[in-house]
A and B are shown apart, each in its own frame.
Chain A
Amino acid sequence: APSPGDLNAQERLFLSSLGLSSRPRPADSRPQRRHVPSALWRMFRSSEHRKKAQDSDPCTVAEYGVKGNIIRYVQDQGEGGEVPSWNGLEKQLFFNMSVLQPVEQLTLARLEVRFHWGPLLSSELLSSDRGLSVTLYRVIRATLKGADRQTNRRLLLSQSVQLQPESTAVTLDLTSVAESWRKPGRNYGLVLEMLDLSLPLVQSSLVLVSLNPEQCRSRQR
């Protein structure tokens, strides 16, 4: 029988081929077991179907139309919740890009911000034409206090979001921004400003699609 040391070495070898440095900690040890996004479940099931039909290229993510073999829902690690700003609410967003291995080629980064009001959103507001005014900035230097904070931002998006009873979402292609975040000392995150309406619950994810060329050989070869 193999010794525990042999088994550990074998496991490390296989985990490293999966792109993992060690065995991830068990789900039941996590403070909040992360919800699996329904879009990922759909992609997982459709990849199973395509595999059975043998018409899939495992190095292409058909749902996004880009090359890739890894899809990550990177969760927001921005500090604190929504805080009042001079004319609404402000939230810091931060996505840890070090989860990508250097060998991986980033082919898509898509920000998904979902606003939930739930029962807080009154029927009066819903029936009105009011929307939520959303502005997204990229922070280009460490966030400073006061007036400097405004000058250290670059506008990425400004739009009005129509109110929906359950939730509503904003998506934005951030591929080039996320690629620049991979360089050391370049990732200061984003700032999301919400004007006019108060108290939506904000959930943000950065969907990253990447290709590990070492693990994704072309079918033609």
Chain B
Amino acid sequence: ARRKMAVPGAGEHPLQFNYSLWYSRRTPGRPASTQSYEQNIRQIGTFASVEQFWRFYSHMIRPGDLTGHSDFHLFKDGIKPMWEDDANKMGGKWIIRLRKGLASRCWENLILAILGEQFMVGEEICGAVVSVRFQEDILSIWNKTASDQATTARIRDTLRRVLNLPPNTIMEYKTHTDSIKYS
């Protein structure tokens, strides 16, 4: 489908990259096959400036207020939030498990760090996901090159700084090829 490219409005603060927000919700009892995943994911909108981002985000429900098996995804415009996307297929993600009650604040801090280019890893960041689950919530940040250890270490250290996580928080890096193998 053809979409109009987002551009910053007059007097707005441009972002380094354009991003899209997506929402997905798993239908209970259905297998999470690639096809049903793609059918269940909806693009909410694309933005090119700080002001455009807030216009979307301010109207969105906070992750901590979602129920059921739901996810928000923030990805660079042109990258689908799927392992199979060309930008993601050689990549991986840092995974942070959060006890209930932390998701809204951590998600906001994470996306502000991405939009503001706080990670300093060139073009490596693809996007981020917050997954709302029954007992805990999961944050993940996806990058292009899973084998680039300097990049993944820098992403981890920046995450620790911007999320201000409890000291006992466990962070795990997973390549997407492993995720595909074991899913």
Indicate whether A and B interact.
no
Chain B positions within 8 Å of A, measured between CB atoms, are none
Chain A positions within 8 Å of B, measured between CB atoms, are none
